[in-house]
Each structure stands twice: as structure tokens, then as C-alpha cells.
Structure 1
Amino acid sequence: MEENQSKAIILITRHMNDALRNEYLNEEDSRKLWVELEQRFGNVRDSLLPVLEVRWHSLHFCDFKSVLDYNLEALRIKSLMEFCEKNITDTMLI
């Protein structure tokens, strides 16, 4: 059981930023670490969505130098909105 705890801690911290890893360095319980990270970062989607919606509605073709630049920005916003569980249809992209 303790070996599984250690493996879980190693796995979780391996994918963390160095500063964040140092902040949670003393945490020995993998479940507690997971819950703390969830509480800290679980609302990223909720805080990101309003900003993305404003950017989506203010996206105008004439603001870009090329079609490629416009398309890249539209697809970037679309993918982030899908991350936030808000779908953008192809019709909306056009």
C-alpha cells in the first residue's frame, strides 16, 4: 500500500511545474495531494470560459493581416472553448 502511495506521488509530481512541485514537496498522501490540486485548479474552465466568449464574439476577420492568422486564432479559441465543454459548430466558424 505504501509503495503504491509513493508511486502515485511520483507520478503526480513528475508532471508538475518546479515551483508547484516545491510547494507540495512535503505532501505524502497521494489522495490528499490530488484533492488539494483539484480544489486549487478545478475551476480553470469556469474562469476561462467568460474570457473566451468575449474573445470569440469580438473576433473579426478585418483585424488580421491574413486568412491564415484569422483561422489560427479562431481554431485556437474553438479548441479552448471545447476544453471548457462549450461546442463551436462549423457554421459558427464561418
Structure 2
Amino acid sequence: MTNITSLSFVALDISDDNYLSWVQYVKLHLGSKKLSDTIKAENKSTAEENFISIIFLRHHMHEDLKSEYLEVEDPFILWENLNDGFDHQKLVYLPAAENDWANLRFQDFKSVRAYSSALFKISSRLIMCGEKVTEKRKIDKTLSNFHPNNINLAEMYMERKFTKFGDLLSTLLIAEQNHESVIKNHQSRPTGSAPLPEVNNMSFQQNVRGKGYRGG
């Protein structure tokens, strides 16, 4: 029997603000319990599986929603009712997510991690709205928004024909780390600030003394 004494994730709010993320969490958790079919049409789930599923769904719903759908005992019907009532969120959030994606530029971030964090957040919102965000789409988005001063670097990465965004991300992180190391080394000892080697300095002083002696 599934343990539902505590919430596995935030309950579906009456305002429907978290509906899209709630749907993803429910799918993942029901899948982990092998109960995904209970929210599909014409499924062959057993009575026990349906009971476990609907109890789980109710447990992760606002109290007012529980009261509203109190008479519904089939998890699929409950799932469809919630979908009919809240799925309009996609129409609200999709344009905003698409706008954020369109304005996302690699050159606007101070670090690779800050950029990748923003990209993943926007990608998640697009996916929750039913959009596909492929590896190629993430790669193309990143390489097409390098700063003009780094256009040659972007072209070099394009020639490597990355197929996984994670591989490109790792390459960018390594390049950033190497660049930071060079900058730190330069700042700790700027060009021309290194002391003369001791042996050369001694030879120089001896030569000066020698020349002074001969000149006397």
C-alpha cells in the first residue's frame, strides 16, 4: 500500500497556479508505482490500483477541490475533470515562456552556469506547456547568441557538431574555467613584474663591480 501520510509534492492549489508542475509530479509518482494506466482512457487497472491512485490524487489536492470532486471515484475521470478545469494554464503561460526563450542570450550572463540555469528553467516551462525542447534546439539557441567578439569561438563549436547539450555545456564550463585561471595568474603576477633570476642578478652585480674597478 502506498504511503501517503505526508505530501510527496505541493498539492494542487485552488488558484491553479501550480497545475502544470503538479501534472508532471503526478505522472512521475504514479509511474514509479506502476499506476500510470489508472489515469489513461480504457485502462485495465484493477479496483485496488484505482483506489490507490485516486487516494493519492486526492491527497495532493486543495481541500476545496477535494470537496468539489468528492463523488468521483475513478482516477481517470478525476484526472480528466481537473484537466478540463485547469488546462487553460497552457494558454496563459506558453506565450510568456516563448518570449523568455526568444530573448534568452548567452552573452547576457556572467557565467556559463547562470546561463544554463536560466535555459533549463525556461525549457521546463515550455515542456510543461506541451512544447518540445530538443537537444538540437538548446544547442542552436546557445551557439547563435554568443557575443560578436566571440563569433569565431561559436563557429568552432558549431563545427564540432554537438548532438547533446550536456556535451556542449561541459565544453563551455571547461573553457570558462581555463579562461578564469589565465586571468587569475595574470592578476597575481602581471607581465614584467617577475623578479630577475638570482644567478643573473649576482652576475650583473659582479660585472658592474668589475667594470667599476677597471674604470678606476
- Relative to the length of structure 2, the TM-score reads 0.35
- The alpha carbon displacement at 1:91 in A equals 1.8
- Sequence identity, in percent? 29
Corresponding residue number in structure 1 for 2:142: 93
- 1:1-20 to structure 2, matched below 5 A, reads 7-16=52-61, 20=62
Name the CA shift for 1:35/1:92 in 2 (closer, same or farther; >3 Å). same
Between the aligned partners of 1:23 and 1:66, the Cα distance in structure 2 is 44
**Which one-letter code corresponds to 2:66 in the other structure?**
L
Question: Is 1:71 matched up with 2:120?
Answer: no
Specify every segment of 5 or more residues in structure 2 that has no aligned partner in the other structure, as ranges: 1-46, 144-216
Question: 2:109–2:115: 8 Å Cα contact kept in structure 1?
Answer: yes
- The alpha carbon displacement at 1:65 in A equals 2.6
Question: 2:127–2:133: 8 Å Cα contact kept in structure 1?
Answer: yes
Corresponding residue number in structure 2 for 1:23: 64
Specify every segment of 5 or more residues in structure 1 that has no aligned partner in the other structure, as ranges: none
Question: 1:64–1:70: 8 Å Cα contact kept in structure 2?
Answer: yes
Give the CA RMSD over aligned residues.
2.8
Using the TM superposition, name which of 37-46 and 5-14 deviates more.
5-14
Structure with the bigger percentage of helix:
1
Structure 1 SS opposite 2:66: coil
